[in-house]
Every structure is written in C-alpha cells, then in structure tokens.
C-alpha cells in the first residue's frame, strides 16, 4: 500500500521525545512493505536531516517561524487548554495541512490516509476525502478528544470526522467509548500501543547506565518520565515517596521539563525529601533506554487533571516494561490494557498517594518481587505489546479501508 500519514506532532530531530510513537508506528508499517510518507507541520526546532527513517514533508501555516505553535506540545497551555493564538491558527493550519496531504496523495499515489489525532488532522483527511475520495482511518491519542469535549463546535466537527472515517483506533477504554458514541459505532477498535523490545531491553550494565545519565551508582532509584504538567501526577509521586520509609540512599528521579518544575522542587523541600529528588531535565529519546536501564522501579503516577485532561496510554510505560522494570502505574486511560496487577506490574488508584506509597514500600523491601514483575513485564512486550503487532493490526484496518 501507498499510505499518507498526517500528524500534528512528529519527531523534529534525532532523539526528539515529541510523539516518537507516530514514527514508531509508521516505521513498523513501512517494514511490512508499505510505502509511507508523513505529513507534519513545520516547527522552529525542526532539523529534518537528522530524521532519516521515513519520507517526511513539513508544511508551514504562519508567516513567522515563532508563530508555528500547532502540535509538538505547543498549542495547549499547561496541557489543559488551547492557547489563544492556537484558535487564530486553526483555519490556516487546516488549509495548509489539507493542501500538503493532497500533494502527498498525488505525489506517491496513496490509496489510504492514516490520521493521528482526529483534531486537527482528521479534519484535513476529511476535506481531502471529499476532494479525492481517498479513505482514511484515525488513531485517537487523548488530547484530540479532550479538546472535542471542551468546545461544542469542535465536538460537532469531530463527530463528522469520525462518521466519515473507515476505522478508528483507541488506546484506552474511555477513548473507545467516546468514539463509539460520537460517530464511530461498530468501527472503533481498542488497540494498546507498544514498544520496541530491541531498543528497550534490560541493561547489561546498570552501573554504566547510571554513569551515562550522571545518576548515583550505589543507590535505590525510583524513576518516572514525562512533561512536568499536572496530568502526569508527579506531585502525587513526590508526596508518596516522602511518606514512605525508605532504605538509606534512595532517590526519586523524574526526567522531563515543564511548568511544574519549581512547584515540584518546592513540594519536595516542604516534605523533607528535597535532597532525594533529582530532576535531570529533558531526556533525549535516544537516551531513554539508558535512563530506564539505570532504574530499579518505574512509576507512572498519571491523573485526570482539574480540567479533565488525561493521558491515553503513555508509551514510556511500555518502554519501561520492555526494559524489564517493575512498574507501578495509575489505573487511568489505557494502562489497564497492559498491566495485570501483581503479575506484570501493579495498578494503583490515581491521585492516591497512600496506596502508591504502600506499593513502593513493599517493592523497596522485596527485591525478589521486583525481579519477578520485571521479567513478566518484559515478556508482555516481547510477546504482545510491541510495534510489530500494532502495525499488523493497523495494516489490516488500512487494507479494509481501501476495499470497503
């Protein structure tokens, strides 16, 4: 198949941690023998020569470089509301994105479109479908439906997009239920995302990983990773860590950047664990395996933030599982699709620092359970939750979209 992929976020340079799953999915589809071209918006940080695995065509939609804020985690303020400038750029984005997608289809003779995020990219696919008849499928990721729920007009447009699509994939039960009720009945599929078990594997030398990441070598390390925004729940993790009796020389390491950095530092100091909290900043995606390999326990403390935003299924959880880590994760979004409590990880209630602290305490004291959970987590990714298996299912849906 010749497939045009459209996404509002796509790695801008080698090692960019912005939406690497879009590239992972597209690369996996290409390895199945498909011809893939990705259409994505321009961004000031793009260094396209550093991203060589796929054909990528960037489109501009604003007069000045700094005005390109659609996608790449720029359009949402604090991950909970659209920036005012984003409203002004929606129409230019849709117009230029639709033109870029139309050119991609004609350039390589694409017979189907894979749109990531129903808003705004599904609208581009919908418009192009009206012009060329090219069918499209949509993969929902969470922020698209969050925006659709917050704005009546966006919700109605989103419903039109979902109705016209040939298939919809959802990485959480909540996204699945929404799609089924708003235009996707009978054609929505629940598909958990994955990881690459070759790239993300248990380290042969944990101390080497710690040296590479400049982390304490002789310590028990609890790690987490993501943007420092409310929906990630890092404040809950800091509070749970603070209330737990810990072995000597235990550290909490939270990788990433964002508006909550100062808040987390102040919270840790207030709770008496300021010296045990390490915030190394942005982790290059190419270093994520080493960052996870340095860890003893991984925690995904995601919550539904006060505005109602939440993650679908963060792929960093699958990457940590693939690295053979015992993982504790909030039972939110699509996390329960991949974690079976006390079999290959542990689910806890979101925003419940006491429960999280209790599980941490148990794992601190029980190295055998940590090893058992880590081995089972790794096996889950190798056998099931990997990009090859995800691409096989998507390939079926893309083929069916053409035939039907």
> What's the pLDDT at 74?
79
What DSSP string describes 82-146?
A: E-HHHHHHHHHHHHHHHHHHHHHHHHHT-SEEEEESIIIIIHHHHHHHHHH---EEEE--SHHHH
What stretches of 182-255 show up as alpha helix (H) in DSSP? Answer: 206-212, 234-243
Q: What order do you get walking across the sheet with 136-139 strand by strand?
A: 55-59, 35-41, 2-6, 112-116, 136-139, 167-170, 188-190
> What's the pLDDT at 353?
96
> What's the pLDDT at 47?
86
pLDDT digits (tens, 9 = 90+) for 154-206: 999 999 999 999 999 999 999 999 999 999 999 999 999 999 999 999 999 99
- Which domains are seen in the chain, by residue range? 2-194+387-403 (3.40.50.2000), 206-383 (3.40.50.2000)
pLDDT digits (tens, 9 = 90+) for 46-98: 986 656 779 999 999 999 988 898 888 777 665 656 777 788 899 999 999 99
What DSSP string describes 9-21?
A: ----STT--SSHH
**pTM assigned to the model:** 0.94
pLDDT digits (tens, 9 = 90+) for 239-253: 999 999 888 899 999
The closest of 136, 80, 70, 59 to 304, measured between CA atoms, is: 80
* Residue 401 main-chain phi, psi, to 5 deg: -65, -35
Q: Is 133 exposed, middle or buried (0-12, 13-18, 19+ CB in 10 A)?
A: exposed
d(CA 206, CA 222): 14
In DSSP terms, 220 is beta-bridged to: 250
pLDDT-flagged residues of the chain (< 50) = none
> What's the pLDDT at 80?
59
d(CA 313, CA 308): 16
């Amino acid at each position: 198949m010749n497939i045009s992929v459209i996404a509002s976020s796509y790695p801008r340079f080698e090692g960019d941690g912005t939406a690497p799953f879009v590239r992972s999915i597209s690369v996996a589809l290409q390895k199945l023998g498909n011809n893939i071209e990705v259409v994505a918006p321009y961004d000031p940080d793009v260094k396209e020569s550093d991203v060589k695995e796929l054909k990528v065509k960037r489109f501009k939609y604003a007069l000045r470089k700094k005005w390109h804020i659609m996608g790449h985690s720029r359009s949402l303020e604090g991950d909970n509301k659209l920036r005012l400038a984003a409203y002004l750029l929606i129409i230019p984005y849709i117009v230029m994105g639709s033109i870029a997608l139309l050119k991609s289809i004609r350039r390589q003779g694409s017979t189907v479109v894979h749109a990531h995020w129903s808003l705004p990219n599904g609208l581009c696919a919908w418009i192009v479908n009206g012009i060329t008849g090219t069918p499209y499928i949509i993969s929902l990721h969470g922020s698209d439906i969050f925006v659709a729920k917050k704005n009546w007009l966006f919700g109605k447009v989103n419903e039109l997009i979902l109705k016209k699509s040939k298939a919809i994939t959802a990485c959480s039960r909540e996204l699945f239920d929404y799609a089924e009720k708003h235009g996707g009945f009978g054609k929505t599929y629940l598909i958990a995302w994955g990881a690459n078990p070759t790239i993300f594997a248990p380290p042969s030398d944990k101390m080497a990983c710690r040296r590479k990441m400049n982390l304490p070598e002789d310590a028990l390390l609890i790690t987490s990773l993501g943007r420092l925004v409310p929906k990630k729940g890092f404040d809950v993790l800091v509070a749970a860590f603070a209330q737990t009796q810990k072995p000597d020389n235990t550290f909490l390491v939270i990788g990433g950047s964002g508006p909550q950095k100062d808040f987390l530092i102040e919270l840790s100091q207030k709770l008496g664990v300021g010296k045990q909290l390490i915030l190394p900043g942005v982790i290059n995606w190419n270093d994520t395996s080493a960052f996870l390999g340095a860890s003893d326990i991984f925690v995904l403390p995601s919550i539904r933030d006060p505005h109602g935003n939440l993650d679908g299924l963060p792929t960093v959880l699958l990457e940590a599982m693939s690295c053979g880590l015992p993982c504790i994760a909030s039972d939110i979004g699509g996390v329960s699709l991949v974690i079976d409590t006390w079999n290959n990880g542990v689910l806890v209630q979101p925003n419940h620092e006491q429960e999280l602290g209790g599980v941490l305490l148990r794992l601190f004291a029980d190295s055998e359970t940590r090893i058992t959970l880590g081995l089972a987590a790794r096996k889950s990714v190798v056998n099931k939750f990997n990009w090859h298996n995800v691409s096989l299912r998507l390939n079926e849906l893309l083929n069916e979209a053409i035939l039907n």
